Amino acid sequence: MSQTPNFTLTTPDGIDLFVYCWLPAEQPKAVVQIAHGLAEHAGRYARLADALTSASYAVYANDHRGHGRTVKSADDLGFFAERDGWRKCVNDMWQLNRHVAVKHPGLPIVLLGHSMGSTLAEQFMGDHGDALAGVVLSGANGKPAFLAKIGGAVTWAERVRLGPRGKSKLVQSLTFDAFNKQFAPARTAFDWLSRDPDEVDKYVADPLCGFSATVQLWIDLLDGWAAVSGKAHRNRVPKALPVYLIAGERDPVSGNARQLKPWMAEYRAAGLMNLTHKFYPNARHELFNETNRDEVTDDVIGWLAQVVARSDRSAAEQHKAVAKEDQGCAGPVQSILAAARFAAEKHAQQKRKGENGEPYFNHLLEVAELIAATSPELDVELMMAAFLHDTVEDTGVTLQELEQQFGKDVAALVAEVTDDKSLPKEIRKKLQVEHTPDKSPRAQTLKLADKISNLRAIISSPPVGWSRERKLQYFEWARQVVSGIACPNEFLKAEFDEAYRGISKLKES
């Protein structure tokens, strides 16, 4: 195993996520992204990473907010954020996932989450499942038990009493302290983690482990647990996504695995087709630090081999399908060209606002070119939407017409980036800033490419009649819109930053 220099990823709100990276000596066959648990850090997965890299997997793992080397001061230990902490942690994982995808283009990515990390991984399955080849869940909670039902009320009451950064002995007694009761008389407060006393002692001695979480983090975690337990979330998980659930049969976090069986039943009822599991007798919470850890690791590597083989077969089948479509002259390129022709006809009489009077279609073409450069794999629907994204606003085309001609996915993307022209312009601009964080990743990509093209045009062919102040206002507004994109494509973000630097020319004019 070779470990590259550790690095940081800076989030949109300015947090420097500390990331570990372990690479095999040879070309990796897939990537494993690890999400660690509560009150620990990603550095504890070095032994697992060693086994994975020996099997030719690249491994990446970030320290979550409030954990490990992401923390900048003792006050931040055990604290996600003042608000939206759960969502920000999931977005952090997505940012790392996209970074990995750029570093290892075309390789399958499997997400492995432990404990709290398994709940984050479960959220990720619903939000970004299409970006994953598989998911391993270790030490999961399962179906919410009594604690989850009363925990929200307790933690909110404690937040009022102690403040968001307060640490509650009551909440601690209902969680970590309660987990250890079934192992009385216990040698330490963390005997529930593993049967291996050496591993428990390492955890106890680690200053970045075993700390009390803030009440705000507990609120975030319980809210996240409730969110992933809902039917709406389960229905968003791709039905064919392979999921491997592993647990110890004496893990108190899942009620000794009892809470996992109804959890599996609900996912299967939602249509999840490739859910498998293995429960280990007498094992406790941290399977990768248990006395049978080698067995657990071998089982995971065996499952990964099946997932990679499945992913390889799927890729081969897709290539065959594309080749067959190309032979029949009905492939993706023809679909994109049909959308481009439709847009060219609808915008035929429209010019850009610039002094050069360019055809409006040039803008659509530039947006499509930017999106095409974001990935070696062509996103056909997104490319079609790039050409069509202004047809509803500017030409009178309806979403129903787009759906009939180009399908539901394309029409839905156009709908996401279409403003309500019945509203005043200032209201529309305000809503773009407010709503961009909630858009789908594909719609955010489209919006980002659109803003790049517009900023470039303001510099190269300034809109007729626009004052210097109006141009500066547009640059600032575009920056606000783009800042709402949690994990922008790295190429597009660099292009936006380059275009935005044109503001210096405006200020000098």
Which residues are catalytic, by number? Answer: 393-394
DSSP helix/strand/coil, 18? strand
Phi, psi for 191 (deg, rounded to 5):
-60, -20
Tokens at 181, concatenated = 């009761």
Instruction: Report the phi/psi class of residue 256: left, alpha or beta, with left for phi > 0 and alpha for psi in -120 to 50.
Output: left
- Tell me which H or E stretch contains 446: helix 441-460
Q: 160: how many CB neighbours lie within 10 A of its CB?
A: 10
DSSP helix/strand/coil, 35? strand
DSSP state of 74: G
Residues 105-140 as b/e (b if ≥16 CB within 10 A, e otherwise) read eebbbbbbbbbbbbbbbbbbbbbbbebbbbbbbbbb
Q: 281: how many CB neighbours lie within 10 A of its CB?
A: 9
- What is the C-alpha separation between 253 and 115, in angstroms, rounded? 8
- What is the C-alpha separation between 434 and 432, in angstroms, rounded? 5
At 175, the amino acid letter reads T
For residue 114, which of 251, 264, 309 has the smallest C-alpha distance? 251
- What is the C-alpha separation between 494 and 438, in angstroms, rounded? 22
Are 159 and 216 in contact by the 8 Å Cβ rule? The answer is yes
- What is the C-alpha separation between 411 and 442, in angstroms, rounded? 13
